[in-house]
Copies of this chain bind each other. A is one copy, B any other.
């Protein structure tokens, strides 16, 4: 349906920001973000929609007396609707890597959609895909152990940012340990321990922010929702 897949391009392409034309460029307001730059989603009375053109983003929630949470991770091709986070959550988007967003106000969007039904269809498909991914993340958070949650996370990142060579797969890790911990509802100490165990069991190796999973099926076996994630990811690629 949408053309978000890195794999559909030549093997020499960069894996980090694989696809600068994840959506045909129908211009809204272009928003280039440097690493760690933040876009507030709160207190904007007018909702809007944001398309991720390049880079990786985090949706963060911060409630007064509570730890920061990373609610979801956005990749090129994803569409985010401001209304998805209630105002009181104190949500923002944060660029995990340098990124480019395209922002649309709803009126503008409606006009575009009327004149370009193909664009509307893409947008709806992107939204549906992200919604299903959120379901999987919820399922993982509420049904899986720490190690399983980390495996699910690695599958998610690997699918979206990784390049497959034989049965192995490698990718640049866009999130810091603490950010991953906030996404997985683990504390950083515990996460570090789980990572160490996985490294010593050979499931993954990491050096200088580059992760390699030598045996992808082995990782999939640790990941309760990996198969569902893969199915979902495959659907977003051109079926033809």
CB within 8 Å of B: which A113-160 residues: 128, 131-132, 134-139, 141-143
Q: Which chain B positions have C-beta within 8 A of A69? A: 139, 142-143
The answer, among B63, B67, B143, B231, for a CB contact under 8 Å with A88, is B231
Specify the chain B residue showing the minimal Cβ separation from A226.
Answer: B88
For the complex formed, measure the closest distance between the CB of A228 and the CB atoms of chain B, giving whole angstroms: 4
- Residue-wise, chain A 77-94 has the 8 Å CB interface mask toward B (1 for contact) of 000010111111100000
Q: Which chain B positions have C-beta within 8 A of A142? A: 69, 141-142, 185
Report whether over half of chain A's contact residues are helix, strand or loop; otherwise say mixed: helix
Are B66 and A132 touching (Cβ within 8 A)?
no
Interface membership of A214, Cβ < 8 A: no
Q: Which chain B positions have C-beta within 8 A of A185? A: 141-143
In the complex the two chains form, what is the Cα distance from A83 to B87 in whole Å? 26
For the complex formed, measure the closest distance between the CB of A40 and the CB atoms of chain B, giving whole angstroms: 16
For the complex formed, measure the closest distance between the CB of A108 and the CB atoms of chain B, giving whole angstroms: 16
Specify the chain B residue showing the minimal Cβ separation from A142.
Answer: B185
In the complex the two chains form, what is the Cα distance from A88 to B136 in whole Å? 10
Q: Which chain B positions have C-beta within 8 A of A134? A: 134, 138
Specify the chain B residue showing the minimal Cβ separation from A227.
Answer: B88
Interface membership of A30, Cβ < 8 A: no
Are A135 and B89 touching (Cβ within 8 A)?
yes
Specify the chain B residue showing the minimal Cβ separation from A186.
Answer: B142
Specify the chain B residue showing the minimal Cβ separation from A136.
Answer: B86
Are B84 and A135 touching (Cβ within 8 A)?
yes
By CB atoms of chain B within 10 A, which of A69, A86, A132, A224 has the most?
A86
Are B132 and A86 touching (Cβ within 8 A)?
yes
Are A138 and B139 touching (Cβ within 8 A)?
no
Are A224 and B135 touching (Cβ within 8 A)?
no
Q: Which chain B positions have C-beta within 8 A of A227? A: 88
A interface vs B, CB < 8 Å?
A: 61, 63, 66-67, 69, 71, 81, 83-89, 128, 131-132, 134-139, 141-143, 185, 224-225, 227-229, 231-232
6 contacting pairs across A/B (C-beta < 8 A)? A66-B143, A69-B139, A71-B138, A81-B128, A83-B131, A141-B141
**A-B pairs with lowest CB-CB distance, top 10:** A142-B185, A88-B228, A83-B128, A86-B228, A141-B142, A86-B132, A84-B131, A86-B232, A138-B138, A69-B143
